[in-house]
Amino acid sequence: MPTTQDLLQNAGHSSQESEFFNPMPPGYVPGRHKYVVVVGTVMSGLGKGIFSSSLAKLLKDKGLRIAPIKMEGYLNIDSGTLNPYRHGEVFVLDDGLETDMDLGTYERMLDQNLTKDNYTTSGQVYRTVLDKERGGGYLGRDVQMIPHVTGEVKYLLRQLAVRQKADVVFVEVGGTVGDHENAFYIEALRQLAFEEGEGAVCFVALTYVIEPPALGEQKSKAAQLGLKKLMEAGVQPHMIAVRAQNAVQDAARQKIAMFSNVPVDRVFSMHDRASIYTIPDAMRHAGLDREVLTMLRLHGRVNQAMEDEAREQWAGFVRKLISPRKFKTKIGITGKYASLRDAYASIDKALEHCGAHLSSEIDVAWIDTTKFPPAPEVVAEQLRGFNAVIVPGGFGVRGTESKIACVQHCRENRIPYLGICLGFQMAVIEFARHVCNLEGAGSTEFDRETKHPVIDILPEQKKIEGLGGNMRLGAQDVAIKADTLAAFLFAERHQGTEAPRNQGPIPSMPRSLDASVPILIHERFRHRYEVDPKYIEQLEAAGLIFSGRHPQQPIMQVLELPRPVHPYFVAAQFHPELTSRPLRPQPMFMGLVAAAIAHAHPDVPAAQISERWLPFVQPEPAAV
C-alpha cells in the first residue's frame, strides 16, 4: 500500500485512484525549505506584519535566505483600487504590483525588494483555479475548495520557496482566525504542515490582552478564546505574540500558555514601543530567534560572522533612533487622508529614518487640505511654524487648489519643499500660474477644459480605459541631470561613490563621474498624468529646472528650483518614500530634513548638522 508521502509525490493530477491534488513546482525538494506562519486572533490590525518582518530580519541576519508573503482574504486582485481608509497606503513593488502596506514593512525591515510572488489575494487564487478549470487542468474533476483551492495555495508557497531559493518562507495571513475569507488559507497551511513533516512549519499566533482602565489589570480571556478558535481549525501554535498597551504581565502570559499548550518562554510580550525598529532586539533578548532555529532545525545553516556584522549595523541605527536628538523640526504633510496616518505610512517611516540619522526630533503635522480654502492668508496661518512641507501623492480634485496654494507659500517664503507624484504636478501648475503667468493653468485630471493643460494624461495611455488599468506602475529608470541638486542627492547611489564636500551654492557631481553623463536611478511610479511636453521650454525659460527625465522620452520626472532662489525646492513624479530603508534613508527626504533643520536652527553652524548634507544647510543670501 502506498504511503501518504508517495501519494503526495505523485498527486500532480486528479484520478480515481487518489483524492489528493497536490502538484509540486519543478525543483522543489521537501525538507529543504522551512515555513513560519503568522496568523492573528481576537481582532485585525494587531501588527502581524511588524512581528513577522522583525522575526524574519533576525533569521536573515544569521545568513538565511528569507521570502515573505502576505496572503489577503479579499477578492480584489490587488490593492490598487482600495480606499486608504480601508487598508492604509497602497505600496507599489518594483514590478508594478500594488500591494498592502505590510509589504513596505517587510522591504524596510529586511532591506530587500519584493515581487508579485510575495503577495496574493483570494481573488488571485480563485482566478488561477477558475482559469485552470476552463483550460481542462483538472481532468474532469469537480473543482472544490479542498483539495483544489487549498492545493493552489500550497503550490504558491512552494513555488515562492523555489523561485527565491528561500531557507525560510514567512507566511502572513491577513485578517483574523475565524474570518470566512481566510479559512481556506489556514486549512491549506494545516495541510502544508502535515505534508512537510515535523520540524518544517512553525505557527505563530498574534493575540491581544485587554486592559480595561476600570479594572486596572490585564484580561486574557479574549486571547484564550481566539487561540482556541485556531486550535479548532487543527492548528497548534508553537509561539504566541501578545499585543498590549503595556508589557504583558507574567500572570497573563502563564494563562495564555496553559490554555494554548505553548511553553511560557515562547509567549512574547509585543507591547507598544516608541518605534517598531526596537522590536527585533526585544525578540532577540527573549530568545525567539533561537527557539525558531531549534523548531525548524536550522542551527546548522547559521553564519555567525554575518550575524555579528548585521547586529552591529542595526544596533548603530537603533542607538541613533533612541538617543536624545540635537535638533527639533516641524514638517507639515498636506493630504486629503490626513486623519489616517497609515495612508502615508511610507512617508512617516522615511522621515523617521532621516530623523535618526540627522539627530532631529521631527514633529509631523498632518494637514487636511480639503478643510480650508486656498486664500493666501488662510494658507499662511495653516503653515505657520513649519520648517518644511511635503505634498504627497493622491488622486482626485478634492483639496488640490489648497495644495497649490501651499506650494506657492513655500516657494515664495523659501520654506523647504518636497513634492511627491501629485505634489510634483501641483508644483508645475503653481509655477505655470504664478511665474509663467499662464492664467488658468491646470491638469486635465481635474478640468478637461483647462485653458493651459500643463499636466495631461500619458499620451500612450489615452486609449486605455478602466480604473486601475491605465497607470504607469513600478520601477523605471530616471536620468538625473549633472550639476543639479538632484544629482547631488543621488550621487551616493550611483556606482557606490561618495559626493565630495561642496562649498559653493550648488552641489556638484562626484569628481569620479563624467559630468556629461546623467546619473541613472531606478524609482517606483504610480500615476497617470505627466507634464505636457509643449510647456517644458516655457517653464524652463522661467527658471524651473527639470533635473530628472525619462532616458528616451520627453517625460519630466524630477523638478527643482536653483539655489539661491530657494534653499530646497524639489519634487518627483515617482514615490521616493517607497525605497527608504532604516540603514539607507532616501536621499530626497534626507535633503529635506537637513534643510528643515537649517530653517529651524539658522544660528547653528552647518557642519554641526551634517557634513554630507552641507550644501543644503549653508546660510545663503536671499534671492534678489
The per-residue pLDDT for range 5-30, each reduced to its tens digit, is: 554 555 554 444 556 678 899 999 99
The secondary structure of 526-574 as a DSSP string is EESEEE-GGGHHHHHHTT-EEEEE-SSSS-EEEEE--TTT-SSEEEESS
For range 401-425, the mean pLDDT: 96
* Nearest-angstrom CA–CA distance, 2 and 91: 47
Range in 78-87, 334-343, 495-504, 575-584 the model is least confident about? 495-504
CB atoms within 10 A of CB 497: 15
> What are the φ/ψ torsions at residue 382 (nearest 5 degrees)?
-65, -35
Q: List phi, psi (to 5°) of 461.
A: -105, -5
Residue corresponding to grid cell 513546482: 25
Tens-place pLDDT, residues 114-156: 999 999 999 999 999 999 999 988 888 889 999 999 999 999 9
- d(CA 184, CA 205) in angstroms, rounded, equals 17
Mean pLDDT score of the chain, rounded to an integer? 87
The pLDDT assigned to 496 comes to: 38
Report the alpha-carbon distance of residue 302 to residue 526 in Å, rounded: 39
Identify the pLDDT of residue 138. 87
- Predicted confidence (pLDDT) per residue in 243-302, tens digit: 999 999 999 999 999 999 999 999 999 999 989 999 999 999 999 999 999 999 999 999
Taking only the tens place, the pLDDT of each residue in 551-578 is: 988 899 999 999 889 999 999 999 999 9
Read off φ and ψ for residue 405, nearest 5 degrees: -65, -35
Q: 11 near 22, Cβ under 8 Å? A: yes
Q: CATH 3.30.390.30: does it fit domain 4-54+63-272?
A: no
DSSP result, 297-319: T-GGG--HHHHHHHHHHHHHHHH
For the annotated catalytic residues, the residue numbers are 421, 575, 577
Closest CA to 152 of 177, 133, 179, 176: 133
pLDDT of residue 293: 97
Alpha helices in 13-114, H assignment, sequence order: 48-61, 84-87, 102-110
How far is 358 from 614, CA to CA, in rounded Å?
A: 12
Measured distance CA(525)–CA(458) in Å, rounded: 13
Give the mean model confidence (pLDDT) for residues 404-422.
96
Distance CA 245, CA 218 (A): 10
What distance in Å separates the CA atoms of residue 123 and residue 130, rounded to the nearest whole number?
A: 10
Q: pLDDT band for 162, please (50, 70, 90 cuts).
A: very high
Neighbouring C-beta atoms of residue 324, cutoff 10 Å: 6
174-176-177-183 Cα dihedral, nearest 10 degrees = -50
C-alpha cell at 360: 532631529
Q: How many CA atoms lie within 13 A of 257 on its CB side?
A: 14
Q: Would you list the domain boundaries of the chain?
A: 4-54+63-272, 324-461+529-617
Q: How far apart are CA 393 and CA 536, in angstroms?
A: 22
The pLDDT assigned to 466 comes to 42
Cell of 30: 521537501
Q: In whole angstroms, how far apart are CA 537 and each of 361, 432, 434, 554, 558?
A: 41, 12, 16, 11, 15
Report the Cα 515 to chain-centroid distance in Å. 33
Q: What is the pLDDT of residue 561?
A: 96
* Lowest model confidence (mean pLDDT) among 174-183, 482-491, 544-553, 601-610: 601-610
Q: What is the rounded CA–CA span in Å between residue 336 and residue 366? A: 9
In whole angstroms, what is the distance from residue 600 CA to residue 327 CA?
Answer: 8
Q: Same fold for the domain at 4-54+63-272 and the one at 324-461+529-617?
A: yes
- Has residue 427 got a pLDDT over 60? yes
Give the span between the Cα atoms of 587 and 492, in whole angstroms. Answer: 9
| Residue 219: φ, ψ to 5° | -115, 130
Q: For the segment 35-49, what is each residue's pLDDT rounded down to a tens digit?
A: 999 999 999 888 999
DSSP state string for 510-521: -TTS-TTSPEEE
CATH label, 324-461+529-617, candidates 3.10.20.30, 3.20.20.80, 3.40.50.880, 3.40.50.2000: 3.40.50.880
